[in-house]
Amino acid sequence: MINPEIFVALDFSTELDAKKFINNLNPSLCGVKIGKELFTSSGPKIVNYAIEKDFKVFLDLKYHDIPNTVKKACLAASNLGVYMLNIHSLGGDEMILAAREGVDQSKYNPLLIGVTLLTSHNQKTIDSIGFNNKLNDQIKKLALNASKYKLDGIVCSVNDLKFLKPLLPKNFHFITPGIRLNDENKDDQKRIATPSEAKKLGSTMLVIGRPITSSKNPLEEIERIKSQLDSI
């Protein structure tokens, strides 16, 4: 069983803090995820910095807009040289196809990933939004659409892998946030799992934030997680 790749979520509010943290990581052990807060405060500069340090970058901006806007945004993001970017599968078929077209127009070839439902969502959340489906049925529908419209994978909860893996192509990527260690609290995420659980269920990439960023020695923490995964 191949170990999933680790992407460290750079949950920092400033470019300076993010750079300091990046400088303490090893690109042979992990990639980095840049989300909305850091990208909004720092822009493409922090993406360029991470790439210059040889890190794979997952640009986690979850585009969701009219198709042409998403197409242009995906092209611009791809041209930064990122390894992976994502969109909300809830945007529908036209938006997904436009995103695919934008990425395919780039000189680079990043992975284009669809977000199903956020790990903070539960049945109560989707009921309040107005979906008529059960939580798992809604996730399944969004995941199948991602595959149908030629996305490279999905972002989903580890718990969703149990019923999604048999339905999707073998070369499909499963990116799983909500990764916590055994001794941690859940914070604001409801559908979580440990790295070992994620590997056993078939995750191909793990997004890990607070367990690493709040550690006194982030590099040692990554090595410890990798060691646990190796033992399975």
Q: H-helix or E-strand containing 207?
A: strand 205-208
Q: Find the catalytic residue in 62, 71, 140, 199.
A: 62
Residue 59: count other Cβ atoms within 10 Å of its Cβ.
24
**Phi, then psi, of 163 in degrees rounded to 5:** -105, -10
Tell me the Ramachandran region of residue 189: left when phi exceeds 0, alpha when psi lies from -120 to 50, beta otherwise: beta
What is residue 60's three-state secondary structure? strand
Residue 45: count other Cβ atoms within 10 Å of its Cβ.
12
Rounded to an integer, what distance in angstroms lies between the CA atom of residue 158 and that of residue 77? 27
> Both ends of the chain: CA-CA distance in Å?
8
Rounded to an integer, what distance in angstroms lies between the CA atom of residue 175 and that of residue 80? 21
Rounded to an integer, what distance in angstroms lies between the CA atom of residue 63 and that of residue 85? 9
For residue 62, indicate whether it is catalytic: yes
Given a contact cutoff of 8 angstroms between Cβ atoms, the answer to whether 10 and 18 are in contact is yes
Find residue 58's DSSP bridge partners.
Answer: 33, 84
Residues classed as catalytic: 62
